[in-house]
Structure 1
Amino acid sequence: MLMDSGYQSYQQVDLDAQAASASPHQLVIMLIDGLLDELERVRGHVTEKRLAEKGAGINRCMNILVGLDSALDIESGSEIAENLHQLYDFCQVELYRASISNDLAKLANVEQVMHNIREGWVNFGQHV
C-alpha cells in the first residue's frame, strides 16, 4: 500500500509538471485522458460492486466534464462549441444513468463519445 501511495504521489507531481507547461489545447487532451482513465476505474468498481468508489469516480468524471464545458465559448455563436456542449451534457446524463443502474453500456457510450472528441482535438492540434 505504501508503494502505491509513493507511485501515486510521483504520478501527481508528473501530471502537475505537465499541466504547468501545457498549452490550452494540450490541457483539454489531458483532461479527456484523465476522464477516460477514470471511466476505466469506474468500470472496475461497477464490476466488483464497489459502490462508494464507483460514486466517487463518477463524480470525478462529472467534474471533468463540467470543467471542459465551462471552458467553451458558447456566446461567440460557434457551432463547434455548441456541439461540444451538447456532447458533454449527453455524457453527464449517461454517467448519471450509469451511476443509478450500474449500467456498463452507459459508461461505454461516454467512453466512445470522449474518444471521438479526443481524436478531434488531436487532429486539430496537428493542423494548428
Structure 2
Amino acid sequence: MNAATALRQYQRVDTQVQVAEASPHRLIQMLLEGAMARLFKARGAMEHGQIELKGPLISSAISIIGGLREALDLSQGGEVAENLASLYDYMSMRLVQANVHSSIETIDEVLGLLRNIKTAWDAIEPDGE
C-alpha cells in the first residue's frame, strides 16, 4: 500500500467516525461543507482544463444537495423548508447547466448560495446536542 492509498483510507475512516459521532446539526454542516468542497474542486478542474474531473465532482455535489433536500421536514418546517427545497432544486438545475457549459460563473453562483445557507445554519444553536 502506498502513502496516497493509506492517506485516502485514513480519511475515509476518519469521515465515517465523524459521521457516526455527529449530531443532526453537525451532519447538515458536514453535508454543506462537502458540497462546497466538491464545487471548489470542480471549479479548479475547470480552471486547469481537467474537464474529465469536473463531471464526477459536480455530480457528487448535486447528490449531496439532493440529500439536503430530502432531509427537510416539509410538514414541520413550513415556509422556510419549502423555500429551501425550491432553492436546492434551483441549485441542482444550475449545476447541471454548469456541467454542460463548463461555467465557472454558475459554479460560483451556487457556491455563494451554499455559503449563505451554511452561514445561517452555523448561526443556529443546536437543541441540546
Aligned residue type for 2:89? D
1:96 paired residue number: 96
Q: SS at 1:49's partner residue?
A: coil
AA aligned opposite 1:116: N
Look up the match of 2:107.
Answer: 107
**Normalised by the size of structure 1, how large is the TM-score?**
0.91
Correspondence 1:58 to 2:58: yes
Moved more, 76-85 or 12-21: 76-85
1:5, CA displacement in angstroms? Answer: 2.1
Which residue is equivalent to 1:14? 14
Unaligned runs of 5+ in 1: none
- Aligned equivalent of 1:86: 86
Q: Provide the residue aligned with 1:124 in structure 2.
A: 124
- Provide, for residues 53-87 of structure 1, a one-character-per-residue CA deviation record: whole Å limited to 9, x for no partner: 11101110010011000111123361110111111
Say whether the 8 Å CA contact 2:42–2:58 is kept in structure 1: yes
Aligned length: 128
Please provide the CA RMSD for this pair.
Answer: 1.8
Does the alignment pair 1:41 with 2:44? no
The superposition leaves residues 87-119 of structure 1 with CA deviations (integer Å, 9 ceiling, x where unpaired) of: 111111111111011110100011010011011
Counterpart of 2:85 in structure 1: which amino acid? H
Gaps of 5+ in 2: none
Question: How far apart, in 2, do the equivalents of 1:126 and 1:74 lie?
Answer: 19
| Separation in structure 1 between the aligned mates of residue 42 and residue 6 of structure 2, nearest angstrom | 22
Change (3 A) 1:7 1:77: closer
Taking the aligned partners of 1:5 and 1:34, their CA distance within structure 2 comes to 20
Query: Displacement of 1:3 after TM fit?
Result: 2.1
How far 1:48 sits from its partner (Å)? 2.0
- CA drift of 1:51 comes to 2.1
Distance, in Å, in 1 between the alignment partners of 2:2 and 2:60 is 23
In the superposition, the TM-score normalised over structure 2's length comes to: 0.91
Q: Which amino acid aligns with 2:16?
A: D
